[in-house]
Amino acid sequence: MFDRYYQDELAYLRELGKEFAKAHPALAPMLAGPGSDPDVERLLEGVAFLTSKLRLKLDDELPEIVHSLLEILWPHFLRPIPSTTIVEFNPKSSLQEKLNIPAGTYLDSVPIEDIPCHFRTCYPVDLQPLKIENVGFEERATTRSVLKIDFSLINLDLTTYEFESIDLFLHGDLAMMTCLYLLFCHHLKKIRLSVPGKKEYVDLTPDMLEPLGFGKDDAIFPYPEHAFAGYRLLLEYFLFPQKFLFLRVKGFSRLRDFSGNKFTCEFIFDRDYVYATQLTPENIRLHCTPAVNLFDHEADPIRVDHERVEYLVRPTGPDRRFFDIYSIDKV
């Protein structure tokens, strides 16, 4: 068994030597292929001997049993954690109707060392000709606190543009936004829609507010079907809590009887918000979605010679430093 470990380590070091020789051609005669420097070869063999003994000692603890069980039951716990972010889309002034950006849309970041990062959106986004004009809390005698959000349509009128819902993202300091999220989900009495200059208004019940991010289709990371879904929510919450700070407000179709391009949405709470004076329009965002740095990619072809138990999988590309394999989906 020790010989197998030794051969695997030696093959791995020789592969690294070939890559180093490609990057430094002047040293290629000492590292790459037949005729390489015998002193370097003895050095590689010595390192392979030492590391193979170390691997043998580690494997005596039978980690392959635990590893195999995890591969079957919870394979996601063995995978690296990819980068996540929140992406905001800005509608053009020429947009005249709702534009759907489906979940799974690929986006590229600004190149870093000439390599762009590929991200994939996690939520569908309804891009609407809509923007937020102002956000702020008001105090009234009849209730504890009221969050007032002023919206405006871009070059459109309420009589011609039909929409049912608006998705909001609570952006900013996590402590501030989680307190605000608590108000929305547990202390909301009603929602009031109105148009400036009109005495009429529309009242909506609290169930017209829907928290997002808890459904199966809202998962950021691929998750096995047989695993308990609650663990996925815990994992995503501790890794990326901003993913859950999304809310959907429904019932805007009842504004069809009003005219104008501006309207107000008031959220009436039965509890005060301790950060009310610090809230700004920057904290409530439209057209946002979580995105994760996961994408499909090819690997270099591997010649299976049956001389090794394990084969190193390398992503294709000019510089492999920028890639980390999350999962192997097809062979």
pLDDT digits (tens, 9 = 90+) for 214-263: 998 999 988 888 778 888 899 999 999 999 999 999 999 999 888 889 99
pLDDT, residue 329, reads 84
Task: Single out the residue of 119, 124, 98 nearest to residue 288, CA to CA.
Answer: 124
Q: Tell me the per-residue pLDDT of 46-76, one tens digit each, with 9 for 90 and over.
A: 888 888 877 777 776 666 677 777 777 777 7
Residue 2: per-residue pLDDT = 63
Give tens-digit pLDDT for 192-216: 999 998 888 999 999 999 999 999 8
pLDDT cut 70: percent of the chain above it = 95
SS3 content of the chain, % helix, strand, coil (to 5): 35, 25, 40
At 123, the pLDDT band (50, 70, 90 cuts) reads: very high
Per-residue pLDDT at 169 exceeds 80: yes
Residue 32 has pLDDT above 60, yes or no: no
Q: Is the pLDDT of residue 34 over 70?
A: no
* Residue 33 confidence (pLDDT): 62
Instruction: Look at the alpha carbons of 140, 141, 142, 144 in this order and tell me if their dihedral is positive or negative.
Output: positive
More confident residue, 249 or 312: 249
CA-based nearest residue to 237, from 217, 216, 220: 220
User: How high does pLDDT run on average in the chain?
Assistant: 87
Q: Please write the tens of the pLDDT for every residue from 279-301.
A: 999 999 999 999 999 998 888 88
Q: Looking at the predicted structure, is the pLDDT value of residue 35 above 60?
A: no
Q: How confident is the model at residue 135 (pLDDT cuts 50, 70, 90)?
A: very high
pLDDT for residue 61: 65
pTM beyond 0.75, yes or no: yes
> So what's the pLDDT on residue 121?
96
Q: What is the pLDDT of residue 3?
A: 77
Q: Which of 107, 123, 85 is nearest to 246 (CA)?
A: 123
Between residues 81 and 64, the one the model is more confident about: 81
Report CA-CA distances (Å) from 268 to 65, 165, 186, 262: 56, 18, 12, 20
pLDDT at 31 over 70: no
Sheet with 84-88, edge to edge strand ranges: 84-88, 288-292, 118-121, 106-108
**Average pLDDT, stretch 318-322?**
75
- Residue 143 pLDDT > 70: yes
Length of the chain: 331
Supply 36's token pair.
């390489």
- Which pLDDT score, from 0 to 100, does residue 62 have? 65
Q: If you ran DSSP here, which 8-state letter would residue 294 be given?
A: -
- Ordered by start, the domain boundaries in the chain are 2-61, 84-292
